[in-house]
Amino acid sequence: MPIYEYKCSKCKRPFSVLQKTGTTEKDTVCPDCGSNAVKKLLSAFSCSAAGGDAFIPSASGRACGGG
Ligand SMILES: [Zn+2]
C-alpha cells in the first residue's frame, strides 16, 4: 500500500497515511483533530515497513527515514 501525504485544512497539520489506491480525501480524516477537511499533497513511496513490494527510486537519495 502506498503512503499518501495530506494536510489538514482545519488545524493546518500535515500527515501521512497508508491507504489503498483510489482512496479519496473524503475517506480520510485528520489524525490530530478528526476533521475530514483534508487536502492530498502528494504520494510518497512506501517504505519496506509497509509491505514487501517497496519501490526504491534510484534517482532519489532519500526514500525512507523521515518519519
Ligand atoms: Zn486537523
DSSP for 47-60, written as a single string: PGGG-S-----SS-
Cell of 11: 488545524
Q: 33 CA distance to ligand 1 centroid (A)?
A: 4
Q: Nearest to residue 25, comparing CAs of 4, 46, 44?
A: 4
Q: Nearest to residue 31, comparing CAs of 49, 67, 6?
A: 6
Residue 55 within a domain: no
User: Could you list the pLDDT tens digit for every one of the 67 residues in the chain?
Assistant: 788 899 999 999 999 999 888 888 888 999 999 999 999 986 555 555 545 555 555 555 555 655 5
Residue 57 within a domain: no
Residue 53 within a domain: no
Query: Which neighbouring-strand residues pair with 7?
Result: 14, 39
- Specify the pLDDT at position 58: 58
Q: 52 CA distance to ligand 1 centroid (A)?
A: 31
Domain count, the chain: 1
> What range defines the domain where residue 13 resides?
3-28+37-47
Q: 42 CA distance to ligand 1 centroid (A)?
A: 17
